[in-house]
Amino acid sequence: MASSTSESGGVSVTTACLVVVVLLLVAACGGNGGSAAAAAVFSGYKFESHGEAEAFEAALLQQACFNVTSLGAAGRGGSRGCVSRLDTARGGAGSGPVPVLRAALRDTLGEAVSAVGAVTGLASLSNHAGEEMAVRDCIELLGYSVDELGWALDAMAEPDSIAEEEYARGTLGSGRSARSRRAEDDLHVWLSAALGNQYTCVESFHGTDGRLLRRVEAAVAQLTQLVSNLLAMHKRLRSITPLHHHASPTTHKNGTDGAVSSSELPPWITDVDDAELARARSGRKAMRVDVVVAQDGSGRYRSVSEAVAQAPNHSKRRYVIYVKRGVYQENVEVKKKKTNIVIVGEGMGETIITGSRSVAGGWTTFRSATFAVSGAGFMARDVTFRNTAGPAAHQAVALRVDSDRSAFFRVGVEGHQDTLYAHSLRQFYRDCRVAGTVDFVFGNGIAVIQRTTLATLPPASPGQVASVTAQGRRDPNQNTGFSIHSCIVEAKHPTYLGRPWKPFSRVVVMESYLGAGVQSRGWLEWAGAGDAGLGTLFYGEYRNYGPGAGVAGRVRWPGYHVIMDAAVASHFTVRRFINGLAWLPSTGVTFTADLVRK
């Protein structure tokens, strides 16, 4: 057992863990985001005095209403109206900080629902195909936010029942249960995702004449502010609750250009002990196939889209679609309600799903994906997703992922610019191959890419520079980022590891082979953005090897770090970064939980 729960005492901890395992296996197949059962979040804090407690609650209320204008449904009465409304909703002063968060979350969910209504109302004003498509993107994206905020609210159960449960398990008051910490992590993941959707919505209007763009921006601005406030509240609450994670690194290590210390990293926590992992693994059953797709008619369906459409809605167990070898020319969308879908092919490069949409061809980046999945708990293995729009077609996504707790094993992702769109939520890639030219792994999900080949293809034109990543973190309180672990950066052409698509872009490359094409500077500024983001991004390299791995000539931006300390690097492992031990075992996908060399 990790030291994290040692203070709860032996016997009750073991029991709690067993309960957690059972719940997780159920939850992993749950119909929603795979939310764990509700738990008492942010419990266990202590204040010196009554006055200090009230001051904390008051500060939290102010934060919930920060920069709330009188626009939008939740903004009635502006910031002051917001404070007094939430004050009433939380049941008055002295009820603790959690009711404030819950009241703010309810308000924000209401605002998200209104935003869907407002944007839907704009649909009739769109006067060309580009705008119509952007409005459709927005409605879908705001729908994600509604779901994610709903999951967050569900995860915060009513306090009384939780207190009773925790009391029954003997965990009340003393240490907080693993469930609580997991629920706090889940909240963080879902709030981070609920912030990003609005930005993508607005981006879908780029290239239109801007008339609807401004109205859509106005329709989502309040929601964006409220979610950003929730993330700030989450951070504040984390600051007062016991963390319980093991040996947090306190040493400051010098990069080429400054120090990186644990205090700069948000506290992703939750360690699960390895006995739990073993139990979960032993309970795993062989995967059974539900339906077969085959082009020759030997299966129930001839196309993947058909099989997905006919799959059960809101499945609580994994539903396996076996796709026989062949090239399937189709664009597939696994929608939100298609949960726990598994696509199993007959091999990378053998079962191929291919399309050719691109921005140059009139699609939005979001909608260009050959294969797009938002249903939670998705898995794919032994299959290739391809976009054949070509090197000159600009953004042309092969695979877009908005599936929480999704896993990809031996999957090929092939395209040029913007090949893999890890748009939002927790994702894991293992033994995959992703190929492209510009920003070919991008988005604002929270993803670990492990033992995967990242291959740069020849540039479209002599001047084009290849960048592996363009990570799009926007808000310092989002827990998103890409961790590239034990990978091969196959750089046969001049290649940079990444460039900051957004100011808080975060990428760590660790224990990976970097090919000869990786340029000595390593990383690239965003074209035309000058110094923007170079101080706020977080790029790190830890113990890479190979001809491109030398760090002597690397960029000297304040946000770039050569990580020397294993404790810092371990923030970006499967165990810590995506809390993988809580959900990956149920996928059956092999993974390395920790650093390879400790």
Ligand X SMILES: *[C@@H]1O[C@H](CO)[C@@H](O)[C@H](O)[C@H]1NC(C)=O
Nearer to ligand X, 67 or 298 (CB): 67
* CB 250, min distance to ligand X, A: 11
* CB 311, min distance to ligand X, A: 7
φ/ψ of residue 41, rounded to 5: -80, 150
* CB 467, min distance to ligand X, A: 28
Interface residue with ligand X, options 238, 252, 493, 521 (CB under 6 A): 252
Nearer to ligand X, 493 or 543 (CB): 543
Interface residue with ligand X, options 225, 351, 395, 469 (CB under 6 A): 225
Interface residue with ligand X, options 6, 15, 67, 263 (CB under 6 A): 67
Nearer to ligand X, 339 or 469 (CB): 339
Interface residue with ligand X, options 221, 393, 401, 432 (CB under 6 A): 221
In order, the DSSP letters of 549-562 are ---TT----TTEEE
Nearest to 377 by CA among 414, 402, 400: 402
Nearer to ligand X, 298 or 313 (CB): 313
In the chain, what's the furthest Cα-to-Cα distance?
73
Nearer to ligand X, 292 or 564 (CB): 564
- Rounded CA-CA distance 549/558 in Å is 20
* CB 478, min distance to ligand X, A: 15
Give the interface size with ligand X as a residue count (CB under 6 A): 9
- Rounded CA-CA distance 481/148 in Å is 18
Judge whether 429 and 449 are in contact, CB under 8 Å: yes
* CB 217, min distance to ligand X, A: 9
* Annotation says 296 is catalytic: no
Interface residue with ligand X, options 254, 263, 298, 590 (CB under 6 A): 254
In order, the DSSP letters of 377-410 are T-EEEEEEEEE-S-TTS-B--SEEE--TTEEEEE
Catalytic residue of the set 186, 402, 404, 439: 439
Nearer to ligand X, 15 or 251 (CB): 251
* CB 259, min distance to ligand X, A: 6
* CB 285, min distance to ligand X, A: 23
- Rounded CA-CA distance 367/132 in Å is 12
Judge whether 564 and 254 are in contact, CB under 8 Å: yes
Contact pattern for ligand X over residues 262 through 301, marking x by CB under 6 A: ----------------------------------------
**What is the footprint of ligand X within residues 76-105 (CB under 6 A)?**
none
Segment interacting with ligand X, rule: CB under 6 A, options 76-84, 120-128, 250-258, 567-575: 250-258
Contact pattern for ligand X over residues 301 through 320, marking x by CB under 6 A: ---------x-xx-------
Q: Does the footprint of ligand X cover residue 253 (CB under 6 A)?
A: yes
- Rounded CA-CA distance 386/332 in Å is 12
CA 271 to chain CA centroid, Å, is 19
Q: Does the footprint of ligand X cover residue 335 (CB under 6 A)?
A: no
Segment interacting with ligand X, rule: CB under 6 A, options 184-192, 248-256, 278-286, 485-493: 248-256
Judge whether 392 and 230 are in contact, CB under 8 Å: no
Nearer to ligand X, 318 or 426 (CB): 318
Judge whether 485 and 578 are in contact, CB under 8 Å: no
Segment interacting with ligand X, rule: CB under 6 A, options 96-104, 231-239, 249-257, 402-410: 249-257
Block residue for tokens 């970097």: 514
- Rounded CA-CA distance 565/573 in Å is 14
Segment interacting with ligand X, rule: CB under 6 A, options 13-21, 132-140, 247-255, 276-284: 247-255
Question: 434 forms bridges with which residues in the sheet?
Answer: 413, 454
Q: Which residues does 34 contact at the CB level (< 8 Å), separation at least 6?
A: 27, 28, 376, 377, 404, 405, 583
N-terminal to C-terminal alpha carbon distance within the chain: 19
Judge whether 253 and 227 are in contact, CB under 8 Å: no
Nearer to ligand X, 212 or 221 (CB): 221
* CB 338, min distance to ligand X, A: 8
Please tell me what DSSP assigns to residue 301.
Answer: B
In order, the DSSP letters of 249-288 are ----EEETTEEE-GGGS--------HHHHHHHHHT--PPP
Instruction: Please report, as ranges, the residues that interact with ligand X according to CB under 6 A.
Output: 67, 221, 225, 252-254, 310, 312-313
Any idea which residues carry the catalytic annotation? Answer: 439
